[in-house]
C-alpha cells in the first residue's frame, strides 16, 4: 500500500484532518512514544485499517445521576471537544513511529517519526484533559450564569451532557446559556434531544442542532436513543437494555468458557435492573473455574444445560420497560420521600438494592433506584454465611452513600436478612 494511502486511512480512522500530524526529522525518542498497531481486516470484501493506540489502560467509574429522578431531560454531545491545538513544548510527548511505505515481506520498513499537533483523543489522559479544560472554561461564567455552570459542572459526562428540568422555560434558558458558554470555547453542543416535543420545537426555532431521532421520518420503533450506554425511548420515556448482540445465538454452536465470558460482557446493566438474572451467569462462570475447564473446551452436560436455560430467558429482556422518571420535580421536597436499602447473601452470591418510596397523599409509589451484586469469593474454609451477610451490608452502605449524594435524605432505613438457618 503506498505511503499516501496509508496516511489517508490512518488519518481518516482516527478522525484527524490535515495539519494535526507532523513528521519529524529525528528518530530520537528520549521522551517516549505512543504505541499503536495497524490491523487490516476484510469485512464484506472491503479492507479496513483499524488503528489502535495503546497508552495506559483506562479505568471506568459509574456514578448515579439525579437525571433519573426528574420529569424530563435534554441530552446532547459536545462536537470536536478534543481537537484543540497542543502547546509546542508538549508535542514530543505524543510522538509515534509509522512506516513510510509497505515494502513487502522481503524488505525492511523505513521508520519515520510523527507527532500530533492537536490534543490526542483516545489515550489514558484524554478524559481528564477534556474535563479539566471544560471546568477551567465554565468557571469564568459562574457569576453570570450560576445555575447553568453548576449543571455543566455536575451533569457533563466526558462529552455527553444529560440533565433534567421541571419546566420547558427553565430548560430552554439553561440550554441557551450552555450553548453560548461552550461556543465561546469553540465547542459546538450538538445532537440536542429531549422527551418534550415542545422543547425540541423551541430548539429548532433557535437554530439548535437537533438529534436525527427527532426527524419526521423516524418511526416510533426507532425512537430509542442511547444515553450513557442505556437505550432510552424518548417518546414513552422509559429505559431498557440492549441485548440484540445475544439474540443471534446458534443453539448448535459449541458452548465454551470463552463464550460464557463473552456473553456476560455483552449485557450492559450499569443500574442493576436485572441483577438477579445476570448474577446467575457470573456464578456459572465461577463454577467453570472451580472445575478447571479450559477456555475452548465444551461445557459438561449439567453446566451446558444451565447455560441454555439461562439463555432461553434472554428474550424476556427485550420486553423490559423501566420508567426513567421516578421522582417528579414538582413533588420534590413536598412529600414523604424515603430511601430503603436491602441486602442479602447466600453461599454463592451477595447483593443489595436501593428503592425510592414516594408518598403523595394516599398514593404510595416504590421504584428501584439501583442494585449491585457480587459472587461469593472462593475461600470456603474461612467464608461463613454471617461473613457474607456483612459483605452484603458493606455493599449496601456503599450503594447508599452514592444514592444519598444525589437524593439528600436523612434517616435512610437499611435492612439485612441475616437469619442463618
At residue 260, the pLDDT reads: 92
What pLDDT band is residue 53 in, cutting at 50, 70 and 90? very low
* pTM, two decimal places: 0.73
Residues 206-241 have pLDDT tens digits of: 999 898 888 877 666 567 888 888 898 888 889 999
For the chain, what is the mean pLDDT? Answer: 78
Q: Is the pLDDT of residue 203 over 80?
A: yes
Q: Report d(CA 213, CA 223) in Å as an integer.
A: 6
Higher pLDDT, 18 or 293: 293
Q: Is the pLDDT of residue 117 over 60?
A: yes
Q: Is the pLDDT of residue 350 over 90?
A: yes
Q: Is the pLDDT of residue 61 over 60?
A: no
Residues 118-133 have pLDDT tens digits of: 777 667 777 888 888 8
What pLDDT band is residue 30 in, cutting at 50, 70 and 90? low
Q: What is the mean pLDDT of residues 85-111?
A: 68
At residue 393, the pLDDT reads: 93
At residue 113, the pLDDT reads: 78
Q: What is the mean pLDDT of residues 82-111?
A: 67
Name, in order, each residue with C-beta under 8 angstroms of 289's C-beta and a sequence gap of 6 or more: 378
SS (H, E, C) the chain: CCHHHHHHHHHHHHCCCCCCEEEECCCCCCCCCEEEEEEEEEECCEEEEEEEEECCCCCCCCCCCHHHHCCECEEEEEECCCCCECCHHHHHHHEEEEECCCCCCCCCCCEEEEEECECCCCCCCHHHHHHHHHHHHHHHHCCCCHHHHHHHHHHEECCEEECCECCHHHHHHHHHHHHHHHHCCCCEEEEEEECCHHHHHHHHHCCCCECHHHCCCCCHHHCEEEECCEEEECCCCEECCCCHHHCCCCCCCCCEHHHHHHHHHCCCCCCCCCHHHHHHHHHHHHHHHHCCCCCCCECCHHHHHHHHHHHHCHHHHHHCCEECCCCCHHHCCCCEEEEEEEEEECCCEEEEEEEEEEEECCEEEEEEEEEEEEECCCCCCCCCHHHHHHHHHHHHHHHHHHHHHHCCCCCCCEEECCCCC
What pLDDT band is residue 37 in, cutting at 50, 70 and 90? low
Of 115-129, 311-325, 382-396, the range with the lowest mean pLDDT is 115-129
Higher pLDDT, 113 or 320: 320
What pLDDT band is residue 104 in, cutting at 50, 70 and 90? low
Higher pLDDT, 35 or 190: 190
Q: What is the mean pLDDT of residues 148-158?
A: 88
Return the percentage of the chain with pLDDT > 70, whole number.
71
Q: Is the pLDDT of residue 394 over 60?
A: yes
Higher pLDDT, 248 or 225: 225
Amino acid at each position: 500500500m503506498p505511503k499516501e494511502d496509508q496516511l489517508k486511512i490512518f488519518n481518516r480512522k482516527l478522525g484527524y484532518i490535515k495539519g494535526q500530524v507532523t513528521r519529524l526529522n529525528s528518530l530520537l525518542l528520549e521522551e517516549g512514544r505512543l504505541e499503536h498497531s495497524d490491523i487490516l481486516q476484510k469485512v464484506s470484501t472491503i479492507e479496513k485499517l483499524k488503528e489502535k493506540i495503546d497508552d495506559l489502560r483506562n479505568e471506568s467509574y459509574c456514578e448515579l445521576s439525579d437525571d433519573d429522578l426528574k420529569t424530563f431531560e435534554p441530552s446532547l454531545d459536545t462536537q470536536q471537544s478534543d481537537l484543540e491545538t497542543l502547546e509546542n513544548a508538549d508535542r514530543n510527548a505524543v510522538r509515534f513511529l509509522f512506516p513510510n511505505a509497505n515494502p513487502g515481506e522481503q524488505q525492511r520498513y523505513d521508520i519515520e517519526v510523527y507527532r500530533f499537533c492537536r490534543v490526542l483523543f483516545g489515550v489514558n489522559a484524554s478524559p481528564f484533559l477534556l474535563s479539566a479544560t471544560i471546568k477551567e472554561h465554565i468557571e469564568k461564567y459562574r457569576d453570570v450564569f450560576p445555575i447553568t455552570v453548576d449543571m455543566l459542572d455536575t451533569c457533563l459526562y466526558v462529552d455527553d451532557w444529560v440533565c433534567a428540568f421541571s419546566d420547558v422555560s427553565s430548560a430552554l434558558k439553561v440550554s441557551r446559556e450552555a450553548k453560548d458558554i461552550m461556543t465561546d470555547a469553540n465547542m459546538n453542543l450538538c445532537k440536542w434531544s429531549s422527551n418534550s416535543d415542545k422543547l425540541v420545537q423551541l430548539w429548532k426555532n433557535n437554530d439548535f442542532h437537533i438529534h436525527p431521532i427527532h426527524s419526521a421520518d423516524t418511526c416510533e420503533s426507532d425512537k430509542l436513543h442511547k444515553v450513557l450506554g442505556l437505550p432510552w425511548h424518548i417518546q414513552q420515556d422509559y429505559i431498557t437494555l440492549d441485548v440484540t448482540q445475544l439474540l443471534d445465538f446458534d443453539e448448535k454452536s459449541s458452548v465454551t468458557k470463552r463464550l460464557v465470558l463473552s456473553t456476560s460482557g455483552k449485557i450492559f446493566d450499569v443500574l442493576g435492573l436485572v441483577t438477579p438474572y445476570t448474577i446467575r451467569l457470573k456464578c456459572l462462570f465461577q463454577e467453570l473455574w472451580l472445575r478447571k475447564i479450559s477456555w475452548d473446551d465444551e461445557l459438561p452436560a449439567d453446566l451446558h444445560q444451565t447455560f441454555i436455560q439461562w439463555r432461553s430467558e434472554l428474550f424476556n429482556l427485550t420486553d423490559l420497560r423501566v420508567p426513567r422518571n421516578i421522582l417528579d420535580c414538582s413533588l420534590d421536597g413536598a412529600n414523604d420521600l424515603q430511601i430503603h436499602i436491602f441486602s442479602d447473601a447466600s453461599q454463592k452470591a451477595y447483593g443489595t438494592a436501593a428503592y425510592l418510596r414516594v408518598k403523595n397523599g394516599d398514593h404510595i409509589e416504590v421504584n428501584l433506584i439501583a442494585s449491585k451484586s457480587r459472587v461469593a469469593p472462593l475461600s470456603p474454609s474461612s467464608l461463613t454465611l454471617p461473613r457474607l451477610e456483612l459483605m452484603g451490608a458493606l455493599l449496601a452502605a456503599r450503594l447508599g452513600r452514592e444514592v444519598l449524594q444525589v437524593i439528600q435524605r436523612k434517616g435512610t432505613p437499611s435492612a439485612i436478612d441475616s437469619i442463618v438457618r
